[in-house]
Amino acid sequence: MGSVPQSQRVLSLPALRQRYQLEGEYPIPSVQHEYEILVRSEVIGLNPIDWKAPDYGFGIPTLPYIPGRELVGHVTSSTTSTSRIQQGDRVAVISTDYRDLRKASYQDYVISSHFNVVRLPLNTTSEQGAATGVAFVTSALALGICSGLDFSSIADGPDLIDIVRRIDPSRLPQDVREECIRGIELAERPRKGDWVTIWGGSSTCAFIINQLARLAGLRTIIVIDVRKHGLNLADSPALQADFVVDSHDPQRAIEIVRSVTGDALHFAIDTVGRPTSESLAQCLQGYSSATDSVQEPTPPGTPPSDVGNKVSRRTHLTGLTGLPKQQTGAVHHSVPVKLFHEIPEVGEALVVWLERLLEQGLLSPPRILGVVEGLEGINDGLDRMRKGEISGGRLVARIR
């Protein structure tokens, strides 16, 4: 792999609502823990958060700031004792720990914990690997923690609810502890044949959620802009759902989902934002559209009850980027993404499972819609994303 230089290039944000600036002679990040490795960046995945955070002023813990959530490269040095990751391995780095700038992907060299990297199989290109990781982690946690889906029947996948509930609660991050321990009752967990509705089916997360849910035996409904993405749905088996609803008329979409599911939908995941999450809430069983009101919310951990409901299972609404302002009769869930980098048992379970899914061809990576060249090309790529030119796939930057 060659020797590691004394300095590197980074793309950093000097201030909010400004473009990223290329810096040279920046220090190489250092390994600080025995479980960390150093990776030489080769292909970087561009995520919507990379332009939304500086434009709207969120998710920026310090300035200047180095962004970037995922990349593919080769391991250049490792102090970890794990035999899974070795020097020279081609790996996908999934960096959900955005506060640690050593782990940001918009630089030549990146630090990662060994339990947050995926050894890429030969059937997966570096471009595909750089576009898959963050969406996979978010999708798996949305289904596995918030919806309680057990993945053990899919390539020996993890039962995430079982993993987190066996961990000493004091180890779980305080702000997601309640979600992990009492977010869903065991009796409410999805059963084969249950419906799950995904609003915003063109996003990378929706693309992966749909695949994982169907692999687990659930029936999926995708609410999507059919005019814009209909051809992709027809051409890609990985995009196909059990039922597709056009999002053009939200009220009509709600009526169709309720009809298809027989007013018995228990699981719904929104990938767009608060307005669509409010529409999605109306698709769930128990939402009272006739009186413009909803059932009283049931706090997490409350045993299911038949009172005021025709079934004992509560409904569950997960929002990736927002949830309704008011309670809707469903249990509202936000995805506890920090589990991936703060709890090694969760991170390790997800990355080794992703390795198997890719190697066995069970999970299709997202489409690559474009490649920009170098760190210096990233600003132009993000501008394309701002303009809405990248939809239904991903954009990546080839560094070397």
Boundaries of every domain in the chain: 7-132+365-398, 137-334
CA distance 37 to 135: 22
Report the amino acid identity of residue 376: E
- Please list the pLDDT of the chain residue by residue as tens digits (400 residues): 568 999 999 999 999 999 999 999 999 999 999 999 999 999 999 999 999 999 999 999 999 999 999 999 999 987 666 678 999 999 999 999 999 999 999 999 999 999 999 999 999 999 999 999 999 999 999 999 999 999 999 999 999 999 999 999 999 999 999 999 999 999 999 999 999 999 997 899 999 999 999 999 999 999 999 998 887 777 788 888 999 999 999 999 999 999 999 999 999 999 999 999 999 999 998 874 433 333 444 444 444 433 334 447 899 999 999 999 998 899 999 999 999 999 999 999 999 999 999 999 999 999 999 999 999 999 999 999 999 999 889 999 999 8
Domain 7-132+365-398 has CATH 3.20.20.70: no
Residues 317 and 286: beta-carbon distance below 8 Å: no
- What are the structure tokens assigned to 30, written together? 């250092």
CA distance 87 to 79: 10
Tell me the whole-structure pTM to 2 decimals.
0.93
- What are the structure tokens assigned to 92, written together? 């996908």
| Cβ neighbours of residue 166 closer than 8 Å, sequence gap 6 or more | none
Rg of the chain's alpha carbons, rounded to an integer?
Answer: 21
Q: What is the DSSP letter of 131?
A: T
Residues 367 and 393: beta-carbon distance below 8 Å: yes
Residues 30 and 44: beta-carbon distance below 8 Å: no
Domain 137-334 has CATH 3.10.20.740: no
Residues 295 and 286: beta-carbon distance below 8 Å: yes
Residues 112 and 80: beta-carbon distance below 8 Å: no
H/E segment holding residue 174: helix 174-182
CB atoms within 10 A of CB 333: 23
pLDDT at 112: 98
